[in-house]
Amino acid sequence: MANEKNNETVSALIREQKKKRGSWNQLTEKTVPIIFLICAVISIVTTVGIVLTLLFETLTFFNRVSFIEFISGTEWYPFVESSASYGILPLISGTLLITLIAVIVAVPIGLASAIYLSEYAGDRERRIIKPILEVLAGIPTIVYGYFALTFVTPLLQNFIDLSLFNALSPGIVVGIMIVPMIASLSEDAMNAVPNSMREGALAMGATRFEVARKIVVPAALSGIVASFVLAISRAIGETMIVTVAGGSTPRITADPTDSIQTMTAYIVQVSLGDASFGSTIYYSIYAVGMTLFVFTLLMNLLSQYITKKFREEY
């Protein structure tokens, strides 16, 4: 009887509390989904607005400049109206050269950092290294740009013949900038690998390096490759580092000691006031922006495909 009375008392208290909070809970349940929906709609509308703006202004540009000339031309000289040339290949060449150098720097360092943090580092080491990586990720890119121009370039000039503005210095610094992205995402992928796989390999006599190389990395390969693709996408879209340290000489070259210009650097150059509103040069920044958008979109789609295609379920 005592237990039944206690149960009835508890039930009564619960009902009383529900009555007190009933109106507030009902209001919350009705308003919160609406707020979430509004946030989702704002994101979608913003994305659609950006794409449509790029598209309409790009079409205006192509009403004045041949699309074939734009995608196949090897000269980019838009500032002399009488003899302007709008072949985007030199800008693409500069962008890809910077990206290639960045990938060569970032992939081995980022992957090695991820393997160390996941497989070797203790709690103390993680507490030291993780904040340093987060600091690298949080440094403004304009600071990276002047670091490349005033420190990395003079340092490299002590060893090789290098002009003040070049592709090598900003490429290296862009690589340093994307190291935290590769390291963090790759480490997360490696941490998702079950410890039982590591323990089984160690029980069979494998060393820790063999476990990392033959068990953990292959098992986390989809996440690792996805981190590479996202980092490449970030490098392609980098702006201030290449604007400050890369120069403004659009040319098709594979020589990293040359001055180059990337798609983002050209957009910044024109946006600073080198073109009047409504001119062909003005609309060219939208065409270049659309090209850049297509590049980054394809990289993101590739990342999603790799993640879904090669994902391991544990």
Mean pLDDT by 10 residues, the chain (314 residues): 54 64 66 87 90 90 89 83 83 93 94 89 83 84 92 91 89 93 89 84 83 86 87 89 88 88 89 75 90 88 76 60
Q: Which domain holds residue 59?
A: 2-63
Residue 138 sits at the vertex; the CA angle it makes with 134 and 139, to the nearest 5 degrees, is: 125
Residue 159 is encoded by which pair of tokens? 């060893």
H or E stretch covering 29: helix 2-62
pLDDT at 253: 87
Residue closest to 303 by CA, chosen among 220, 227, 209: 227
Residues 146 and 272 in one domain: yes
Residues 152 and 267 in one domain: yes
Residues 19 and 89 in one domain: no
Residues 58 and 85 in one domain: no
pTM: 0.84
Does residue 50 form part of some domain?
yes
Does residue 71 form part of some domain?
no
Q: 186-211 pLDDT, tens per residue?
A: 988 888 888 888 888 888 888 888 88
pLDDT at 311: 65
pLDDT at 15: 66
Does residue 69 form part of some domain?
no
Does residue 240 form part of some domain?
yes
**Using CA atoms in the order 27, 31, 32, 38, what is the torsion angle rounded to 10 degrees?**
180
pLDDT at 134: 81
Residues 245 and 134 in one domain: yes
The structural domain count of the chain equals: 2
Residues 169 and 100 in one domain: yes
Residues 58 and 146 in one domain: no
Residues 30 and 164 in one domain: no
pLDDT at 279: 81
Does residue 120 form part of some domain?
yes
Residues 159 and 276 in one domain: yes
Residues 33 and 148 in one domain: no
Residues 151 and 270 in one domain: yes
